[in-house]
Amino acid sequence: MLAKSEQLQIRVTRAQKAALKRLAHAAGVDVSSYVLARALPDVRARFHDILRALQHDEDRRFALAELNDFLTGLAPAQFRDAVADAELRHLSPLTANYAAAMVEQAASQKGEPPPAWTRDVEPLDEPYFAVPFLRLRPHLLRASPAAFKRRNLFVDAAVGDRI
């Protein structure tokens, strides 16, 4: 962690100051730490929290949607910091490939190189189709973004899309 060498002073009302103190106390931190965490969130920690949530298969859809929103909202410089490293050992091969493909797709969209750890995730041996309907497979084969196809994942939406 970098040493703090600068000071920032803001003017607030008495009620705002009291509210910030209450919120900081409830979070178990001082007011400065509370305000900094809200104004400049630690994107790397957030990425790791989402990856941990992906460990629970019953919540995978929600965690993947959260990862989508998170990656979409990052500026290129934030993206590099956020996804610089990842711990995927506890994820199933399917989930690890989903996460890696989403990060690779987001990197492409942001004009950034994908992080090195994505190369360590072995593509699936068998194709995985996001929907079980055989009639949709030709569509999924065409519509899937390249990052997903390389991993043998066939989906109908890319990072930033909502269905």
Reading the block at residue 145, the tokens are: 């973004």
CB 85, CB 37: distance < 8 Å? no
The domain segmentation of the chain, as residue ranges, is: 11-40, 43-154
Beta bridge partners of 15: none
pLDDT of residue 154: 95
Rounded-to-integer distance, Cα 151 and Cα 122, Å: 8
First to last CA, the chain: 39
Provide the greatest CA pair distance for the chain.
63
Angle (nearest 5°) at CA 104 between 103 and 107: 85
- Spatial CB neighbours of 35, under 8 Å, sequence gap ≥ 6: 20, 24
Q: Which of 107, 93, 102 is nearest to 67 (CA)?
A: 102
Q: Which of 39, 40, 59 is nearest to 49 (CA)?
A: 59
State phi, psi for 149 to the nearest 5 degrees: -60, -40
pLDDT in tens, the chain (163 residues): 567 788 888 899 999 999 999 998 988 889 988 888 777 678 999 999 999 999 987 778 899 999 999 999 999 989 999 999 999 999 999 999 999 999 999 999 999 999 999 999 999 999 999 888 999 999 999 999 999 999 999 998 765 565 4
Q: Within 13 Å of residue 144, how many CA atoms lie on the same side as its CB?
A: 23
pLDDT of residue 163: 43
- In terms of phi and psi (left: phi > 0; alpha: psi -120 to 50; beta: otherwise), the region of 79 is alpha
